[in-house]
A = this chain, B = another copy of it.
Amino acid sequence: MVTKMYYGEILLICFCSIYSVQTLPVTMVRRQLMLLSSTMVHGYEIMQQQKPYLIEFFKRNNVSEVIFVPYAKVNGDYDGYTKMMADAIATFELQTSVKGLHTFDDPVEAIKAAQCIYIGGGNSFVLLKKLYDLNLVELIHKRVLEDGMAYMGSSAGSNVATRSIQTTNDMPIIYPPSFDALNLVPFNINPHYIDADKNSTHKGETREDRIKEFHIINEAAVLGLPEGTLLAVDDNKATLKGIANARLFTRTESREYQPESDLSFLLEK
């Protein structure tokens, strides 16, 4: 009798385990991303233009602690950079704790245990190389898409969130082992996107020219996010937020989208 109950319990545990694994992607795991063009926006203090969207994001995901990833900062002042972001997040008055990833003895273990990470801007090449050096690329990909770890990125942090850093504006000041990035979304982002100045006499390529060159070789759509915009991704729904229009480039056309536009179609591969 005792033996039968024992087996019964094992069967019940096995059933629950299989059931929960199979249903996780549908019922529990929701991709949670906030991909900012920049934290600095003309006319605003740092992160204040995005504040209402970020408060909603933190509340919805019950974020009590953010691990800030400062590695895009080329000068290595990770403490100063983390403090600046912690101060900005403190203005949300959510009592969110912010810790720099560089302060952990083991970055891999820190990311494994993280509830939410925020990757800041700087140089995309420097950032991506560091993520590869620390063996964090595959881990962050899995934690976001399989465990639902919340992800916030700005500028270079939004670049690396996409399939590759191939539409960065940064100079290639260091050689990363690949341009492939975290692949949290199947398209590319161009942060700090800016339309060409029609009065300019400069003959160098415009941002649009450069993205068109990208599309001669690559197929993925490129979302040009001007400063003052972000893409909010809640599972399979993507919405443009902010105070400016974004420009979406495909191989065949480019099209402007207003804030609150539904861009969920970009998430389909």
Interface centre among A40, A43, A175 (most CB of B within 10 A): A175
A169 to B42, CA, bound (A): 24
Query: In the complex, are the beta carbons of A217 and B165 less than 8 A apart?
Result: no
Query: In the complex, are the beta carbons of A201 and B74 less than 8 A apart?
Result: no
Question: Size of chain A's interface in residues, with CB distance under 8 A?
Answer: 41
B interface footprint on A162-184 (CB within 8 Å = 1, 0 otherwise): 00011111111111001100000
Query: In the complex, are the beta carbons of B213 and A202 less than 8 A apart?
Result: no
Cβ of A218 under 8 Å from chain B: yes
A192 to B227, CA, bound (A): 24
Cβ of A123 under 8 Å from chain B: yes
From 179 to 219 in chain A, residues with beta carbon under 8 angstroms from any chain B beta carbon are 179, 191-192, 194, 201-205, 210-211, 213-214, 216-218
Cβ of A38 under 8 Å from chain B: yes
| B-chain residues with CB within 8 Å of residue A75 when the two chains form the complex | 216
A173 to B220, CA, bound (A): 11
Interface centre among A41, A168, A173, A227 (most CB of B within 10 A): A173
Query: In the complex, are the beta carbons of A213 and B166 less than 8 A apart?
Result: no
Task: State whether A194 and B204 are in contact (beta carbons under 8 Å apart), knowing that A171-B167, A173-B213 are contacts in the complex.
Answer: yes
Cβ of A223 under 8 Å from chain B: no
| B-chain residues with CB within 8 Å of residue A170 when the two chains form the complex | 205, 210, 213
Task: State whether A173 and B42 are in contact (beta carbons under 8 Å apart), knowing that A192-B203, A203-B227 are contacts in the complex.
Answer: no
A228 to B169, CA, bound (A): 24
Cβ of A66 under 8 Å from chain B: no
Query: In the complex, are the beta carbons of A171 and B123 less than 8 A apart?
Result: no
From 211 to 269 in chain A, residues with beta carbon under 8 angstroms from any chain B beta carbon are 211, 213-214, 216-218, 227
Query: In the complex, are the beta carbons of A171 and B227 less than 8 A apart?
Result: no
Cβ of A126 under 8 Å from chain B: yes
A217 to B126, CA, bound (A): 10
Chain B minimum-CB-distance residue to A222 = B171
CB distance from A212 to the nearest CB of B (A): 9
Q: Give 10 nearest A-B pairs by CB, closest first.
A: A192-B204, A42-B201, A40-B203, A74-B213, A173-B214, A171-B210, A74-B216, A175-B179, A173-B217, A166-B172
14 extra interface residue pairs, beta carbon distance < 8 Å, beyond A42-B201, A42-B202, A171-B211: A38-B204, A40-B203, A43-B201, A126-B213, A166-B171, A166-B172, A169-B171, A169-B205, A171-B210, A171-B213, A171-B214, A172-B172, A194-B204, A202-B227
